């Protein structure tokens, strides 16, 4: 029997990277998974990669109507949520002095507003279980040209602390999963747009004691732990999967 046998999971940003790897792992462990993403073509490819026990709902977590449609679909098809992985997020490189209002609104809209309302709108479908929020090492460290993204991840860390108290009598646990430098399409595309991809990747690897970037599957393994009963005495916690980047 899988560690999530019979569970119903929602994974936002499940069309690629850590979200897709996690959805695949959840299904392999017995869960039925609903995934979201903004690009329908990417969702089709993700469903094909997962293979079974999955429903894709196209949408943007920063759009509250899209979130309503997501959870209406979950309610109609399965009636509940046991695991909610609020994973969707994005970022862009811009040093202080070059940050635009549009960049700020986009990154805070998806990472902070999107996370808040994903959880709040999913909560009525949960009677117990686990909420996982995607944080980052950047929420605990200074990051040149990445301050807006870093600030959103610091906010997510405090969401977990506060929501663990809000939900302490419900049987619902809230924890943060914080990856380090991980070879996801989102990160690699962001670095490529800077025109300095090779230099930036070398810098990230140089900051990581294990001497390499992480793989999405490595973070998915820890997401499985936080989603399962094996983490039943954890709430309000932050778990790093960062090769030691933020630990030393």
- The H or E element spanning position 47 is helix 40-50
What 3-state DSSP class applies to 49? helix
Interval 187-210: pLDDT, tens: 767 666 666 777 878 888 989 999
Rounded-to-10 torsion of CA 176, 215, 10, 169 = -20
Spatial distance between the Cα atoms of 103 and 116, rounded to a whole number of angstroms? 19
State pTM to two decimals: 0.95
* 132, 83 contact by CB (below 8 A): yes
Verify whether residue 32 is a known catalytic residue: no
Burial grade of 154 (CB within 10 A; 0-12, 13-18, 19 or more): middle
- The H or E element spanning position 82 is none
Per-residue pLDDT, 190: 66
Identified catalytic residue from 26, 85, 146, 149: 149
> Which of these ranges, 59-73, 121-135, 202-216, has the smallest mean pLDDT?
202-216
Helix, strand, coil shares of the chain, percent, nearest 5, are 50, 15, 35
- The H or E element spanning position 10 is strand 8-11
CATH for the stretch 8-241:
3.40.50.720
Ordered by start, the domain boundaries in the chain are 8-241
**Distances in whole angstroms, Cα of residue 164 to Cα of each of 53, 108, 156, 212:** 30, 22, 12, 33
Mean predicted confidence (pLDDT) in 107-134? 98
Region of residue 51 (left: phi > 0; alpha: psi -120 to 50; beta: else) = left
Interval 26-62: pLDDT, tens: 999 999 999 999 999 999 999 999 999 999 999 999 9
Interval 141-186: pLDDT, tens: 998 999 999 999 999 999 999 999 999 999 999 999 999 999 887 7
């Amino acid at each position: 029997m899988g560690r999530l046998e019979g569970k119903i999971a929602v994974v936002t940003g499940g069309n690629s990277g850590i979200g897709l790897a996690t959805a695949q792992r959840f299904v392999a462990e017995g869960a039925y998974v609903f995934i979201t993403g903004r690009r329908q073509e990417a969702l089709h490819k993700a469903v094909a990669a997962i293979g079974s026990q999955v429903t894709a709902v196209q949408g943007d977590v920063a759009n509250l109507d899209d979130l309503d449609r997501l959870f209406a679909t979950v309610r109609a098809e399965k009636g509940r949520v046991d695991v909610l992985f609020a994973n969707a997020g994005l970022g862009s490189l811009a040093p202080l002095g070059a940050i635009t209002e549009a960049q700020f609104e986009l990154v805070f809209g998806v990472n902070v507003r999107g996370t808040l309302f994903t959880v709040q709108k999913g909560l009525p479908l949960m009677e117990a279980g686990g909420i996982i929020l995607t944080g980052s090492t950047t929420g605990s460290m200074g990051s040149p040209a990445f301050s807006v993204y870093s600030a959103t991840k610091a906010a997510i860390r405090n969401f977990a602390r506060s929501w663990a108290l809000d939900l302490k009598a419900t049987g619902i646990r809230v924890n943060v999963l914080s990856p380090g430098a991980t070879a996801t399409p989102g990160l690699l595309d962001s670095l490529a747009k800077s025109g300095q991809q090779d230099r930036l990747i070398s810098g990230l690897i140089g900051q990581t004691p294990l001497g390499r970037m992480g793989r999405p599957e490595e973070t998915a393994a820890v997401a499985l732990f936080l989603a399962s009963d094996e983490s039943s005495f954890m709430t309000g916690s932050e778990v790093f999967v960062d090769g030691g980047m933020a630990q030393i």
